C-alpha cells in the first residue's frame, strides 16, 4: 500500500498544534519525519507534505477516522444513491449543547475529565501498548482496556466529525469530544433550549427573500438575532434574556435545511420564482404504465 502524505497544515491539525510549531518540529528533527515536496497548483512556493507514518500515534488514529468519513462522502459510484453511502450520524452531532449542559451538568463535566484521560493515553507511542493500556485503564478508570479502547474510538470518531463540520460551516464543534463520552439522553434532535419564538425568528430571517438573495450568512443572521433580542429585552420580554449560542443556531439552520428538507424553500427565497420553476419544479409527468402496447411511438422527438 502506498505511503499516505498530508500537507504541513493538516499534519499540524492532526497533532493538535499550531502550523508554526509543526514547521519548527520538522526543521529541528528532520530525521524523525519523512517528507516530500510538490509543485504548487497556484504557482507559488512548493507544498511540503509529511508522511502519516511519521506522525504520532494520536495523529495517525485521527487521520484514519478522517479518511473513514471521507470514504462515505467521496467516490460514490454512478447511479448509486448518495444517501446509502452516508455514515450513521452519532447522536451528539444533532444535540443541543446548551440544553445538555443545563440538564446533565454532572455527566458533562465528568466526560470532560474522561476526555483528559483519553488524550493522555493517545499520547503514548512506545512499545507494548497492550500492557500499557491495561495498566493505564486500571489506574485512571478502574476498568479494563476494552473500556479504554471504546472511549478512545468514540473520541477519535468525534474528532473527525468535529473537523468535518467545522470545515463545512466554520463553527466550532470541539464539544463533540466531550459529548461522545457522555450517555445519550432520551430527548435529542429537537433543540429544546431554543424557545419557540426564537426558532420562529431564526426561520423568518433565514428564509427572508431580501436576506437570502443578498447571500446572508449565518454570522449575519446571528447578529440580527442578537439585535432583536436586545430590542425585545428593552421592551420587557423576559423570554429573550438568554438566546442560544452561535454554534447552536448554526446547527439548527443545518437541521432545517437537511432534516426538515427546507432546501427548496431556501432556493425559492434566494433565487426567485422563475429560477425555482426552471430548476426545481417538475415540469410534467406521464403515466406510461397505463398506455397500451404501441399506443405512443417516439421517433426523432416527434410523437406519432
Asked if residue 114 and residue 161 are part of one domain, the reply reads: yes
Asked if residue 146 and residue 226 are part of one domain, the reply reads: no
> Based on the structure, what is the number of domains in the chain?
3
User: Which residue matches cell numbers 500499557?
Assistant: 132
Task: Write out the residue range of the structural domain in which residue 37 sits.
Answer: 1-54
Reported as a single tens digit per residue, the pLDDT across 43-95 is 677 788 888 888 887 788 888 777 766 654 444 444 444 444 456 788 888 88
**Ramachandran bin of 300, using left for φ above 0, alpha for ψ from -120 to 50, beta for the remaining angles:** left
- Is residue 96 assigned to a domain? yes
pLDDT at residue number 156: 87
The confidence band for 281, taking pLDDT boundaries of 50, 70 and 90, is: confident
Which of 153, 141, 147 shows the shortest CA–CA distance to 113? Answer: 141
**Which are the contacts of 46, defined by CB distance < 8 A and separation ≥ 6?**
37, 38, 39, 40
The string of DSSP codes covering the chain is -PPPEEEHHHHHHHHTS-HHHHHHHHHH-GGG--EEEE--TTSSSPEEEEEGGGS-HHHHHHHHHHHHHHHHHS-PPTTS-HHHHPPPPPGGGG--HHHHHHH-HHHHHHHHHHHHHHHHHHT--SS-HHHHHHHHHHHHTSS-HHHHHHHHHHHHHHHHHHHHHHHHH----TTHHHHTTSPPPS--SS-TTS-HHHHHHHHHHHT-HHHHHTT--HHHHHHHHHHHHHHHHHTT-GGGSSPPPHHHHHHHHHHHHHTS--HHHHHHHHH-HHHHHHHTS------GGGSPTTSS-EETTEE-
Asked if residue 96 and residue 153 are part of one domain, the reply reads: yes
Asked if residue 109 and residue 172 are part of one domain, the reply reads: yes
pLDDT at residue number 178: 94
**Which are the contacts of 79, defined by CB distance < 8 A and separation ≥ 6?**
none
Asked if residue 174 and residue 95 are part of one domain, the reply reads: yes
Asked if residue 169 and residue 140 are part of one domain, the reply reads: yes
Reported as a single tens digit per residue, the pLDDT across 32-41 is 888 888 877 7
Asked if residue 209 and residue 175 are part of one domain, the reply reads: no
**Which are the contacts of 158, defined by CB distance < 8 A and separation ≥ 6?**
90, 92, 176, 177, 179, 180
Reported as a single tens digit per residue, the pLDDT across 130-162 is 888 889 999 999 988 899 989 998 998 998 888
Asked if residue 175 and residue 95 are part of one domain, the reply reads: yes
Amino acid at each position: 500500500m502506498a505511503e499516505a502524505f498530508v500537507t504541513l497544515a493538516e499534519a499540524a491539525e492532526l497533532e493538535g498544534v499550531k502550523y508554526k510549531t509543526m514547521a519548527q518540529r520538522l526543521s529541528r528533527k528532520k530525521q524523525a519525519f519523512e517528507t516530500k515536496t510538490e509543485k504548487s497548483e497556484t504557482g507559488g512556493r512548493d507544498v511540503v507534505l509529511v508522511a502519516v507514518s511519521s506522525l504520532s500515534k494520536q495523529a495517525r488514529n485521527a487521520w484514519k477516522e478522517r479518511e473513514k468519513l471521507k470514504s462515505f462522502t467521496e467516490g460514490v459510484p454512478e447511479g448509486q444513491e448518495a444517501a446509502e453511502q452516508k455514515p450513521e450520524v452519532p447522536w451528539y452531532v444533532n444535540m443541543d449543547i446548551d440544553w445538555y449542559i443545563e440538564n446533565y451538568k454532572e455527566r458533562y463535566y465528568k466526560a470532560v475529565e474522561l476526555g483528559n484521560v483519553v488524550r493522555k493515553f493517545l499520547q503514548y507511542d512506545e512499545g507494548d501498548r497492550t500492557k500499557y493500556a491495561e495498566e493505564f485503564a486500571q489506574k485512571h478508570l478502574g476498568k479494563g482496556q476494552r473500556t479504554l479502547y471504546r472511549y478512545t474510538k468514540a473520541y477519535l470518531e468525534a474528532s473527525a466529525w468535529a473537523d468535518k463540520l467545522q470545515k463545512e460551516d466554520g463553527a466550532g464543534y470541539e464539544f463533540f469530544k466531550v459529548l461522545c463520552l457522555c450517555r445519550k439522553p432520551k430527548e435529542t434532535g429537537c433543540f429544546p433550549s431554543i424557545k419557540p419564538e426564537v426558532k420562529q425568528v431564526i426561520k423568518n430571517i433565514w428564509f427572508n427573500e431580501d436576506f437570502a438573495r443578498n447571500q446572508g450568512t449565518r454570522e449575519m443572521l446571528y447578529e440580527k438575532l442578537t439585535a432583536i433580542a436586545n430590542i425585545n429585552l428593552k421592551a420587557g420580554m423576559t423570554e429573550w434574556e438568554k438566546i442560544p449560542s452561535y454554534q447552536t443556531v448554526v446547527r439548527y439552520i443545518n437541521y432545517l435545511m437537511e432534516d426538515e428538507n427546507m432546501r427548496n424553500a431556501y432556493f425559492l427565497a434566494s433565487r426567485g420564482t422563475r429560477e425555482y420553476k426552471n430548476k426545481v419544479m417538475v415540469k410534467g409527468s406521464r403515466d406510461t404504465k397505463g398506455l397500451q402496447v404501441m399506443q405512443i411511438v417516439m421517433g426523432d422527438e416527434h410523437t406519432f
